[in-house]
Amino acid sequence: MIQVGVNGYGTIGKRVADAVAAQPDMELVGVAKTRPNFEAETAVRKAYPLYAAVPERVDRFAEEGLELAGEVDELVAAADVIVDCTPSGIGAENASLYEDHDTPTIFQGGEDADVAEVSFNARANYADAVGADSARVVSCNTTGLSRILAPLEEEWGVEKARVTLVRRGGDPGQTDRGPIDDILPDPVTIPSHHGPDVNTIFPDLDIDTLGMKVPATLMHTHSVNVTLESEADAEDVLDRFADETRLFLIPPGADIDGSGKLKEFAHDTGRPRGDLWENCIWAESVTVEGRDLYLFQAIHQESDVVPENVDAIRALSGDADAAESRRTTEDAMGVGI
Ligand code: NAD
């Protein structure tokens, strides 16, 4: 059993913890939290050993009636792999703690690429992380793009990708984020950081990205144009995508017109937290004009990176079989609509 610790138990961390706990070959040794808030309370209710991320705040947990298993360095020492799910930039600050304990570490996409030996997507470059000391699971948007670019590159070749990312202003719990009544080019300069981030997974891929931010919380939406190297037709692309377990092709008859109904579907089908781990591609949008492929996809920013984190844990632990890891992850979590 791979002993896994999760440092940072927020939006991503709590989902990674649940996914790890569900795996047949992993054991969650604990989660570390900075504050004894409602998320700490849920960790205790789930019987996840709770560690204090900041030693000076140990007493605050006791004051809230939350029992601690220890402090974060004990969690790092006990784990075979640490998944750092702290806010952007804090992961890099924590890196020396993990190095001091020689504990292989997974960082998240909010960190700069140089925080880890390799940037990781389970579909595109699993092998690069096998046996590494650290990996960075790329952001929700880069994960969503990598999952479609990998099969397109393999089947037809990608001459050039152009993507406009319409991004949610904040996650549902982020009441301090915006905009609340505007549509922002974000960043106003082109390309946005997403294209270069995709290049951490596909170094030679020609991609331009444009970012926008809108008053929404549920999901991101991508408008994608990929010029293929050889001709395809839409049916071929749909058939190829249908083989990909982390792509959900929204059926034309489903009457799903946006993120609201997608999330409703996820809740109705009993997904934990209404999570959509798969890219949600509108099948009707998949169109090919000559060698130009167009599509719309929605990306659930809070959850699409979660199965990737689980696979990254196996890769760092030396398990070299990418397809087997992805299958195990998906079976345990219930990925694949
Ligand atoms: P979050 O703010 O929801 O959760 C972070 C958690 O870490 C919080 O509970 C916070 O209290 C805790 N924390 C803060 N400082 C800490 C420290 N020093 N030690 C331990 N814990 C600490 O953030 P998030 O959305 O889960 O993002 C985490 C990472 O995942 C970031 O790199 C982010 O860019 C990336 N990411 C986020 C999303 C998303 O949409 N939320 C998607 C993909 C990747």
Is the domain covering 2-138+305-333 a CATH 1.10.3860.10 domain? no
Is 280 known to be catalytic?
A: no
Q: Which of 108, 213, 275 to mutate to test the pocket of ligand 1 (most atoms within 8 A of CB)?
A: 108
Residue 304 is predicted with a pLDDT of 98
**In terms of Cα–Cα distance, which of 254, 274, 252, 273 is closest to 263?**
274
Residue 216 is predicted with a pLDDT of 98
Query: For the domain bounded by 141-299, which CATH number is listed?
Result: 3.30.360.10
Residue 337 is predicted with a pLDDT of 77
Predicted confidence (pLDDT) per residue in 62-78, tens digit? 999 999 999 999 999 99
Residue 32 CA to ligand 1 centre (angstroms) = 12
Nearest CA owner, ligand 1 atom 25? 11
Residue 13 is predicted with a pLDDT of 98
Residue 1 is predicted with a pLDDT of 96
Residue 197 is predicted with a pLDDT of 98
Whole-angstrom distance, CA of residue 229 vs CA of residue 271: 38
Whole-angstrom distance, CA of residue 116 vs CA of residue 199: 15
**In terms of Cα–Cα distance, which of 121, 77, 72 is closest to 100?**
77
Residue 276 CA to ligand 1 centre (angstroms) = 19
Predicted confidence (pLDDT) per residue in 120-150, tens digit? 999 999 999 999 999 999 999 999 999 999 9
Low-confidence ranges of the chain (pLDDT < 70): none
Helix-helix angle 11-21:38-45, to 10 degrees = 10
109 CB within 6 A, ligand 1:
yes
Annotated catalytic residue within 6, 44, 90, 140: 140
- Each domain of the chain, given as residue ranges in start order, spans 2-138+305-333, 141-299
> Contact 300/290 with Cβ under 8 angstroms?
no
Residue 12 CA to ligand 1 centre (angstroms) = 6
Q: Which of 7, 12, 193 to mutate to test the pocket of ligand 1 (most atoms within 8 A of CB)?
A: 12
Whole-angstrom distance, CA of residue 255 vs CA of residue 253: 6
Atom of ligand 1 nearest to the CA of 111: 32
Rg (CA), the chain: 20
| Same topology between domain 2-138+305-333 and domain 141-299 | no
